[in-house]
């Protein structure tokens, strides 16, 4: 077992999983403290490195593309201070950090963990229910619905319609962008059948962010929603192997085939969420039965 304990946090590797616990030091970001303890399976990793510095070094983990909904939702835009997969290492612990690197690299080699992208999430994402107040709104997510409640800073045209509730089934995509320089950031929900080119300031499905301390917490909302959307790399179900090569079946009534395919995709998505731990056994059974009844 390899373990490194720092004010910035603690990493423990047992050869199978890497446990990350954020530190309590005031320098540790609010996002990392709110996200809390993480347990990463070896299969989610693709590399680790240690960067030496004059006063302190830095451990960096590399995760496989598509393994983590947080990284998927933030697209590499998290600041180093908010990145849960980095650890500041004091000068007298550089040797311990190098030992951690060797242990993880050896395990990746022995287990022959592939470096290619994942087609399902290997981490569950932030837990729900989740509520964050930042920018011009308070956003709540309970795993099934997103609710946006506006505050006194919201543009009047956007706030006029009142609080907004979006069913997860209606969310096509979620995007988080931090404020950079003079450019404001945002958390945007792309809603099916309701495309818009309105800027976040006026979009009732978006939260405008101005670069304040709590802004990065909206990335946790984005990640929690992302974890429950179909994986970006999910592939369409293959045709049955025993399907006849000739005399194809008559086409179904208009719209029926699309609806049936959508239900099949939903079943597969539920299975992926169950395997990754996002859904409990009971939640998976209830959701599966609901889909089967529709079929």
Tell me: pLDDT of 243 over 60: no
Q: How confident is the model at residue 247, as a pLDDT?
A: 40
pLDDT class for 236, splitting at 50, 70, 90? Answer: very low
CA distance 274 to 53: 42
Q: How confident is the model at residue 288, as a pLDDT?
A: 73
pLDDT class for 282, splitting at 50, 70, 90? Answer: low
Per the structure block, which two tokens stand in for 87? 């650890």
The burial of 8, by beta-carbon neighbours within 10 Å (0-12 exposed, 13-18 middle, 19 or more buried), is given as buried
Please report the sign of the dihedral spanned by the C-alpha atoms of residue 259, residue 261, residue 267, residue 273. Answer: negative
Per the structure block, which two tokens stand in for 186? 């945002």
Instruction: Kindly state the average pLDDT of the residues 11-20.
Output: 97
Per the structure block, which two tokens stand in for 275? 């395997």
Q: What tens digit of pLDDT does each residue of 64-112 get?
A: 999 999 999 999 999 999 999 999 999 999 999 999 999 999 999 999 9
Mean pLDDT of the chain: 88
Dihedral-angle region of residue 184 (phi above 0 means left; psi in -120 to 50 means alpha; beta otherwise): beta
| Pairwise pLDDT comparison (84 vs 278), residue with the higher score | 84
Q: What is the DSSP letter of 154?
A: S
pLDDT class for 262, splitting at 50, 70, 90? Answer: low
Residue 287 in 3-state DSSP?
A: helix
Tell me: pLDDT of 197 over 90: no
Dihedral-angle region of residue 143 (phi above 0 means left; psi in -120 to 50 means alpha; beta otherwise): left
Q: How confident is the model at residue 194, as a pLDDT?
A: 86
Beta strand segments in 7-44, E: 9-13, 17-22, 38-41
Q: How confident is the model at residue 283, as a pLDDT?
A: 65
pLDDT class for 155, splitting at 50, 70, 90? Answer: very high
Hey, how many other C-beta atoms are within 10 angstroms of the C-beta on 179? 16
Q: What tens digit of pLDDT does each residue of 103-146 get?
A: 999 999 999 999 999 999 999 999 999 999 999 999 999 999 99
- pTM, whole model, 2 decimals? 0.78
Tell me: pLDDT of 250 over 90: no
Q: Please compute, for residue 295, the number of CA atoms within 13 A of its CA located in the half-sphere on the CB side.
A: 14
Q: How confident is the model at residue 253, as a pLDDT?
A: 43
Residues 6+ apart with CB under 8 A from 45: 18, 61, 62, 63, 64, 104, 108, 113
Per the structure block, which two tokens stand in for 92? 């007298």
Q: How confident is the model at residue 21, as a pLDDT?
A: 98
């Amino acid at each position: 077992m390899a373990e490194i304990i720092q004010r910035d946090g603690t990493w423990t590797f047992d050869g199978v999983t890497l446990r990350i616990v954020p530190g309590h030091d005031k320098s540790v970001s609010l996002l990392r403290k709110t996200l809390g303890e993480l347990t990463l399976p070896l299969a989610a990793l693709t590399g680790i490195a240690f960067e030496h510095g004059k006063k302190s070094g830095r451990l960096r983990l590399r995760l496989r593309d598509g393994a983590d909904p947080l990284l998927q939702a933030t697209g590499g835009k998290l600041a180093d201070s908010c990145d849960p997969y980095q650890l500041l290492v004091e000068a007298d612990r550089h040797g311990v950090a190098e030992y951690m690197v060797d242990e993880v690299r050896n395990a990746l080699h022995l287990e022959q963990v592939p470096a290619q992208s994942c087609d399902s999430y290997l981490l569950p994402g932030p837990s729900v229910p989740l509520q964050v107040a930042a920018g011009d709104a308070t956003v709540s997510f309970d795993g099934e619905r997103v609710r946006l409640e506006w505050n006194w800073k919201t543009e009047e045209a956007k706030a006029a319609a009142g609080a907004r509730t979006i069913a997860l089934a209606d969310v096509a995509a979620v995007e988080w962008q931090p404020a950079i320089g003079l450019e404001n950031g945002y958390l945007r929900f792309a809603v099916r059948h309701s495309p818009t080119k309105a800027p976040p300031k006026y979009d009732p499905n978006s939260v405008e962010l101005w670069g304040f301390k709590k802004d990065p917490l909206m990335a946790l909302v984005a990640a929690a929603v992302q974890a429950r959307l179909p994986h970006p790399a999910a592939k369409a179900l293959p045709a049955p192997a025993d399907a006849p090569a000739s005399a194809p079946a008559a086409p179904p009534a208009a719209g029926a085939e699309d609806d049936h395919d959508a239900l099949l995709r939903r079943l597969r998505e539920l299975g992926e969420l169950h395997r990754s731990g996002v859904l409990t056994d009971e939640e998976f059974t209830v959701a599966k039965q609901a889909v089967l009844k529709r079929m």
